[in-house]
Structure 1
């Protein structure tokens, strides 16, 4: 019996290794998930079976992720390392995870991200880096994970985000960047332009409030007028104007293209009609002047009519009064009085 115990232990260890489930974790071979949440782990388990698709390591005390830590989990699609104490991620930490779709690194102590950290994550769709101490993102981020649809970098120490970093993210649908100490100076012009284009295309974003300069404190970058950047170096401001012109031209071209499909008109025939703004201004001034003159003439005519009406009414009233006075006079007799007729009558007799 005593000899059977070591054999039993060896057998169990062998089965455990073959199964690939860490002894402190809960594994579901049918769902292909490994649950290691809140187990007090200080590092990523070294035994992981190759066809595992979901690995949950949050709420532990992991401080670092070593190179090739997930070399045996090539089928992994969901990896959650949130709520740990991770301060560093070695180059190659996620090497081999070509099928990874969701990566959660929120609520850690990450400060720097190696420029090649995400190079093998070609299928990554969601990346959560919130609640860390990140001061900058690797410049090749957009080129390494072009299939990214959701990115969260909330509650970090980012002061700027370069336009060239996010432009390659053509599939991005949602960007969460709230609560970072953004500096809204000349270096953020390109990112502001990208934001407006991103929103125009239907993207989702939370607020991005400036912390510097003082006059823009707590102002959302999207509401900062472009006139603020007129003091920028000429090269930066010229780039801004060129970008705005390019964006406007693109939008106009798209609208005119749609109109031409319906009306059979081409862009060269329509474009010149939108340019002569000074002519429109002169037309507006001429319209105002002509309108004023016409209104003045109408007012004078109305005044003359009123004066004529009053004069006519006064004359007619006087005429009616005189006519009334004439009607009230006593009638005059054409024959003489009786005294004057008597001598005549006597002579006739």
Structure 2
């Protein structure tokens, strides 16, 4: 019995303390897993076995990631960097991770990502960027992410999002955007249309609650009618002497841009006339019925008026005719009475 216990202990030591395992980490050679969780690490540990497929680095004090940190881990498939204090991600942060499938960066302090941060992680299927300080996403960030099926962006500082960023995510199935600083003005109309199409195709999203304007605060973007959004316009001042080194601020031309200008000002209608297509159709039908009834009443009144006028005209003609016949009738009556009067004794 004592021999079996000793053999078991030796087996565990073989699994978790192999040569080349980083200090303060546990290595499982069977699962090809390295766990450095909760060890107050300030940087990515060195000496991780090159055949490692799973690397846990959550709950540490990692604040920066060097460009060559993961180049010696070509087989890595799962990387968990959650619950650290990372603030930025450069274009070479994840170089060499061509086989990475799952990347967890949740609960950090990320406020900047280069547009090429993910350019070598083409096989990525799950990306969690939630609970960070991202105010925007760089153009082209998801350019090579055609295999991504799960994206978490909730609990950041996003206020608007260009749908061109999402167009390349052709296989996306789950998208979480809750608890950001969404400004639900006319610039959000494009995202609303994209999300409606995404839902129609079977995608899954959470609530996108507005923080501005005041009258839409805490309203779900997906429940706000399209009629509420007006086209966005911006005003750009351009000097007629554009090629000159000095511009005259008093002589400027006025140019109007469309809603593609992210810096333009736009507002939403405060009182939409119709809440949805169904309400609009119902309103048109009711209006048509009311107009029809009014027209019928006017037609009936016109017919009645014409009939009454015709009767009154006929009555007047008959009355005048009787007035002309009145003297003749009286004269004839008098002549008829004279012989009768002469015959009396």
TM-score band w.r.t. shorter chain: 0.5 to 0.7
Give 2:33's aligned residue.
Answer: 33
What residue in structure 2 maps to residue 124 of structure 1? Answer: 124
Q: Does 1:210 align with 2:210?
A: yes
SS of equivalent residue, structure 2 residue 151: strand
Shift of 1:236: 3.9
**Unaligned runs of at least 5 residues, structure 2:** 1-15, 234-256, 261-280, 297-345
SS at structure 2 position matched to 1:230: coil
Cα distance in 1 for partners of 2:72, 2:48 equals: 6
Q: Given the two structures, how large is their TM-score scaled by the length of structure 2?
A: 0.63
**C-alpha displacement of 1:68:** 1.7
What 5-or-longer segments of structure 1 have no aligned partner?
1-15, 238-276, 293-349
Instruction: Give the structure-1-normalised TM-score.
Output: 0.62
Q: Does 1:22 align with 2:22?
A: yes
Give the CA RMSD over aligned residues: 2.5
3-state SS in 2 of match to 1:195:
helix
Change (3 A) 1:29 1:17: closer
Greater Cα shift, 226-235 or 134-143: 226-235
Shift of 1:235: 4.2
1:200 and 1:178 map into 2 onto residues whose CA distance is 19
The answer as to 2:67 corresponding to 1:67 is yes
User: For residues 310-346 of structure 1, what are the alpha-carbon distances to aligned partners after superposition, in whole Å with 9 as ceiling and x for unaligned?
Assistant: xxxxxxxxxxxxxxxxxxxxxxxxxxxxxxxxxxxxx
Partner Cα distance (2:17, 2:69) in 1: 17
- Describe how 1:117-266 pairs up with structure 2 within 5 A: 117-230=117-230, 232-233=232-233, 235-236=258-259
**Helix, strand or coil at the partner of 1:115:** coil
**1:136-161 CA distance string (max 9 Å, x none):** 11211221212110000111000011
Residues 1:40 and 1:195: Cα distance change in structure 2 (over 3 Å): same
Q: CA deviation at 1:131?
A: 0.6
Question: Matches of 2:42 and 2:180 in 1, distance apart?
Answer: 29
Aligned length: 231
Question: Residues 121 and 145 of structure 1 are in contact (CA less than 8 Å); yes or no, is this contact kept in structure 2?
Answer: yes
User: Quick check: which has more Rg, 1 or 2?
Assistant: 1
**Deviation string, structure 1 residues 33-52 (Cα, Å, up to 9, x no partner):** 00000111110012111110
Q: Is 1:109 matched with 2:109?
A: yes
Deviation at 1:21, TM superposition (A): 1.2
Match of 1:79 in 2: 79
Between structures 1 and 2, the one with greater helix share: 1
Deviations 1:157-190 (A, max 9, x none): 0001111000110100000010000011121111
Q: CA deviation at 1:192?
A: 0.7
3-state SS in 2 of match to 1:191: helix
Report the Cα distance in structure 1 between the residues aligned to 2:150 and 2:96, rounded to whole angstroms.
Answer: 22
